[in-house]
Chains A and B, each alone.
Chain A
C-alpha cells in the first residue's frame, strides 16, 4: 500500500487543462490543410495524382481537399510546385456534415452543437457505445486514450458504456466491412431514440484507405445516419475530444 502511495506521488497530476488552454502538439504534427487558390495553376494536376485516396479534386483552378478522405500524409503539399497547399497545426477538424469537410480556402466550418432538446438530454451526461467496424485499431486506441488520466473524459460527463442498451449513441470506427454491417445495424437499433452517431477517422467518414474495395462499405453513413464526422488517420485524441465537446455545445 505504501509503495502504491509513493508511486502515486511520483506519477504526479497529469490531466491536461484542455479545453481551457491549447493542447501541446509535437512539432511535426499535421493538422488542417489550407489552400491558397491564387497560387494554384489550372493545368497542374500533381496533387491529384499523388493523393492515395482521391481526397483532392479540382475544377479549373479551384482546388478542394475532402478532409473526410484525407490521410494527412502531406504528399499533396510536398509535390505542389507553387505551395498552394499548406498543412497547418490546426487540430480542430470535426464537422456536422460531409460538405463542411470540403476545404477550398482557409475557412473552417466546425461542428455545431446539437439542437436544444437533444442538448438538454445529453449535454451533461452522454454515454457512448463504441463499435469498431473494420477499424485498424488506431482510431480505437486513440479513442480509448480519452479514458486515461491525461484526458479524463469523465469530467465532461462523457463515458463509454459496455452495452448499446445503456448508451445514448454510437462512436463508430472503420469503413464498415460487409462482415460488420449487420452487427452495426443491430447495435444501432439497440440504442434507444433519440440517439446520436459519431463517425471517427477517415475510414468511418468515407472508407479512408479502403475506398472502393469490395469487402467494405464507404463509411458509416452508408449504413446508418451520422451526426458528427471526425477526420484523421487516426484523428488525434484531442481532435476527437474537441468534436465531442462541440457537439455537446461545451466549447
Chain B
C-alpha cells in the first residue's frame, strides 16, 4: 500500500534527506493513522532537533506484505496532536519523544516518562521536574480501587540473575487486573553518546545495546553504515554474519525453553537446555573467540575467517547439538503436566498484537507471519531464504513452540550454508558515511525486529541515530498477557516473552 506523502524505500537503502517530504502535522497524523489502519506498522518514530523548541518528527512505516518501508516527516513546535488515541502503536514512541525533546503530544492518554532521564540538549522537562526530581519509577501509576483489590510491587532488584525493572500488579485476590511496567534502570545514554563519539566507541556501544543480541544490533549497525558509505560486503562475510545471527537465536531460544521448563518445575529440560545453550554460545566463540559474537562483524565485513577446518568442527558440533536439543525439548511436548501449564496461559489476541505493533516471537505465536528475514531480506537471507514459523493461539505454549520451530530451522539453515560456503574475501575497506543521508536497517534478531535509523549531517557525522530494540514494541504485550491471569503465572509469562531491559532502556 502506498502511503500518501511518504517516500518508499527498501531495507538498508539510503535516501537523500531532502527527498523525504515534510508535510503539515495534520496530514502527517492522518497518513500514519491510515497506513497503520491499512495493515502497516510503525517500525520507528523519532524526533530530530530543529531550531528553538521545535523538532522534526520522522515516522518509518513497514509494509510487511510488500517488503517495503516508507518514511514521512513533519515539523512541530513544543506540542502537537497525539497520534496515540487513534493509533495505539505510537504510544511508547510519543512518550519517548516527549521525554527526550520536551515536545508534548496533546491528548496522549498515558503520557508518562519512559526511562527517567533528563531531556536531551538541556531542553525543558514535559512534566516540569527539576533534574533532582527525575527519579526512576517516580510517576503516577494506574490504580484499581474496590473491595479486596490490592497492589503488588516488584523490583527493580529481582530474585533471579536478571536485569532490573519495576512491576506493579493491580490484583483482585490472585487474579491480575492490570500490570504496569516501569523501566529505565538500565539507561546508559547510548543514543546521545553515539552522536558525541568518538567513532571508536560505536562498535562497543552496538555490542552492548543488548548484550544477548550483540550480533543482531551490530549487524543492523554494519548494514546501515555500509549503505551510508555506499560500500558492499563480500558474500563470504554475509554468510558468516548469517551463521552468527542464527547461532545467537539458537542459544537464546534454547535457553528460553530451558528457563520456561524451570519456571514450571520441570527440571529435566531445564537442566539439559541450560547446558545446550552454552554449547551454542561456544560455537559463536569458535567463530570469533567471544561467546556473544563480539568483535566478529564490523562495517565492511567480518574480522574472523571461517576456515574449512572450523566449518567442519562447527558442522559436527551443530549436528550433535541438534540431537541433544531435540531430545531435551521434545520432552516438553510429551509431558501432560508441562502442556497443562503452557496452554491457555498468558494469551495475547492477534488483534491486540497488531494494535500494539508487536514483533518477533510473540507476534508469530499468535498467527502473524512477520519476520524480517523473509519480509525484508538483506545479506545472506536474500539468497538463502528461511521460512517463517507461526502458531495460532498466542499463549505461552505458542511462544515456546515457535521458538522450537525456529531452532530446527536455524540449525538446518546453518548446516545448509556450511555445505555450500561462498569463497572469497571477508572484508572490504569502508569509506566514511556520505553526507545528508537517511537510512533504515532492519534485522530479525532472536527477539524480533531490530530497527536502526540514522541521519547524517553535512560533514558525514551522525545527526541522529535511533535504535529500536524489539522489546520496545513488546513490553506492553507482556502487560496485556497478564490480564486475568494468576499473579503466580507472572514468571512463566515473563519468561515466554523474555524481553530486554537494556535494549529498551538504551
Please measure, in the bound complex, the distance between the C-alpha atom of A142 and the C-alpha atom of B156, giving whole angstroms. 21
Whether A82 sits at the interface, judged by CB under 8 Å, is: no
A136 and B502 contact, Cβ closer than 8 Å, known pairs A7-B327, A8-B268, A177-B185: yes
Which B residue's beta carbon lies closest to that of A207? B188
A26 and B282 contact, Cβ closer than 8 Å, known pairs A216-B189, A233-B294: yes
Distance between A203 CB and nearest chain B CB, rounded to angstroms: 8
Distance between A147 CB and nearest chain B CB, rounded to angstroms: 7
Could you give, for residues 280-295 of chain B, a 1 whenever the CB lies within 8 Å of some chain A CB and a 0 otherwise?
0110011111111011
Contact B161 A140 (CB under 8 A): yes
Residues from chain A with Cβ under 8 Å of B324 in the complex = 10-11
B459-479 CB contacts (< 8 Å) to partner A: none
B399-443 CB contacts (< 8 Å) to partner A: none
A122-139 CB contacts (< 8 Å) to partner B: 129-139
Please measure, in the bound complex, the distance between the C-alpha atom of A10 and the C-alpha atom of B331, giving whole angstroms. 13
- Interface stretch, picked from B84-92, B103-111, B204-212, B233-241, is B204-212
Whether B19 sits at the interface, judged by CB under 8 Å, is: no
Contact A30 B290 (CB under 8 A): yes
Residues from chain A with Cβ under 8 Å of B164 in the complex = 131-133, 180, 183
Please measure, in the bound complex, the distance between the C-alpha atom of A222 and the C-alpha atom of B327, giving whole angstroms. 47
Could you give, for residues 11-52 of chain A, a 1 whenever the CB lies within 8 Å of some chain B CB and a 0 otherwise?
100100000000001111110000000000000000000111
Residues from chain B with Cβ under 8 Å of A140 in the complex = 161-163, 211
Please measure, in the bound complex, the distance between the C-alpha atom of A250 and the C-alpha atom of B282, giving whole angstroms. 26
Contact of B203 among A52, A136, A138, A148 (CB under 8 A): A52
Residues from chain A with Cβ under 8 Å of B290 in the complex = 30, 72
A52 and B200 contact, Cβ closer than 8 Å, known pairs A137-B163, A137-B502: yes
Residues from chain B with Cβ under 8 Å of A164 in the complex = 157
Whether B304 sits at the interface, judged by CB under 8 Å, is: yes
Contact of A138 among B185, B208, B275, B327 (CB under 8 A): B208
Please measure, in the bound complex, the distance between the C-alpha atom of A147 and the C-alpha atom of B212, giving whole angstroms. 18
Distance between B446 CB and nearest chain A CB, rounded to angstroms: 12
Distance between B333 CB and nearest chain A CB, rounded to angstroms: 11
Whether B123 sits at the interface, judged by CB under 8 Å, is: no
Distance between A159 CB and nearest chain B CB, rounded to angstroms: 12
Residues from chain A with Cβ under 8 Å of B187 in the complex = 134, 177, 179, 215
Contact A73 B204 (CB under 8 A): yes
Whether B494 sits at the interface, judged by CB under 8 Å, is: no
Find the residue from B136, B159, B185, B310 having the highest chain A CB count within 10 A.
Answer: B185
Contact A209 B208 (CB under 8 A): yes
Please measure, in the bound complex, the distance between the C-alpha atom of A187 and the C-alpha atom of B156, giving whole angstroms. 10
> Please, how many residues of chain A have a CB less than 8 angstroms from a CB on the other chain?
64
Whether B488 sits at the interface, judged by CB under 8 Å, is: no
A165-193 CB contacts (< 8 Å) to partner B: 174-175, 177, 179-180, 183, 187
Contact of A163 among B159, B268, B282, B287 (CB under 8 A): B159
Contact of B304 among A28, A137, A162 (CB under 8 A): A28
Contact of B275 among A14, A135, A179 (CB under 8 A): A14
Residues from chain B with Cβ under 8 Å of A71 in the complex = 204, 294
Whether A236 sits at the interface, judged by CB under 8 Å, is: yes
Residues from chain B with Cβ under 8 Å of A223 in the complex = none
Contact B204 A135 (CB under 8 A): no
A217-251 CB contacts (< 8 Å) to partner B: 233-234, 236
Contact of A234 among B255, B274, B282, B292 (CB under 8 A): B292
Residues from chain A with Cβ under 8 Å of B211 in the complex = 135-141, 234
Contact B161 A149 (CB under 8 A): no
Please measure, in the bound complex, the distance between the C-alpha atom of A147 and the C-alpha atom of B259, giving whole angstroms. 12
Which B residue's beta carbon lies closest to that of A5? B268
Contact of A29 among B271, B285, B331 (CB under 8 A): B285
A135 and B163 contact, Cβ closer than 8 Å, known pairs A52-B203, A52-B204, A215-B117: yes
Contact A183 B156 (CB under 8 A): yes
Whether B328 sits at the interface, judged by CB under 8 Å, is: yes
Contact B278 A135 (CB under 8 A): no
Contact A214 B327 (CB under 8 A): no
Find the residue from A14, A26, A53, A144 having the highest chain B CB count within 10 A.
Answer: A26
Distance between A46 CB and nearest chain B CB, rounded to angstroms: 12
Contact B208 A136 (CB under 8 A): yes
B156-180 CB contacts (< 8 Å) to partner A: 156-157, 159-164
Please measure, in the bound complex, the distance between the C-alpha atom of A4 and the C-alpha atom of B266, giving whole angstroms. 10
Distance between B189 CB and nearest chain A CB, rounded to angstroms: 4
Residues from chain B with Cβ under 8 Å of A147 in the complex = 161, 274
Please measure, in the bound complex, the distance between the C-alpha atom of A213 and the C-alpha atom of B209, giving whole angstroms. 14
Whether A104 sits at the interface, judged by CB under 8 Å, is: no
Which A residue's beta carbon lies closest to that of B186? A134
Please measure, in the bound complex, the distance between the C-alpha atom of A11 and the C-alpha atom of B207, giving whole angstroms. 33
Whether A155 sits at the interface, judged by CB under 8 Å, is: no
Please measure, in the bound complex, the distance between the C-alpha atom of A187 and the C-alpha atom of B277, giving whole angstroms. 30
Contact B289 A26 (CB under 8 A): yes
Contact A53 B189 (CB under 8 A): no
Contact A4 B268 (CB under 8 A): yes
Whether A150 sits at the interface, judged by CB under 8 Å, is: yes
27 residue pairs of the A-B complex, CB under 8 angstroms, read A4-B331, A11-B275, A11-B324, A14-B275, A30-B289, A71-B204, A71-B294, A73-B294, A130-B160, A131-B157, A132-B161, A134-B187, A135-B502, A136-B502, A138-B211, A148-B271, A150-B274, A177-B187, A177-B188, A180-B156, A180-B185, A183-B164, A210-B188, A213-B189, A215-B187, A216-B189, A233-B204
A sample of 5 more A-B contacts (CB under 8 A), given A72-B290, A163-B159, is: A7-B268, A132-B186, A145-B277, A179-B136, A216-B188
Q: Which residues in B have some Cβ–Cβ distance to A below 8 Å?
A: 115-117, 136, 156-157, 159-164, 184-189, 192-193, 200-201, 203-205, 207-212, 214, 255, 268, 271-272, 274-275, 277-278, 281-282, 285-292, 294-295, 304, 310, 323-324, 327-328, 331, 334-335, 500-502
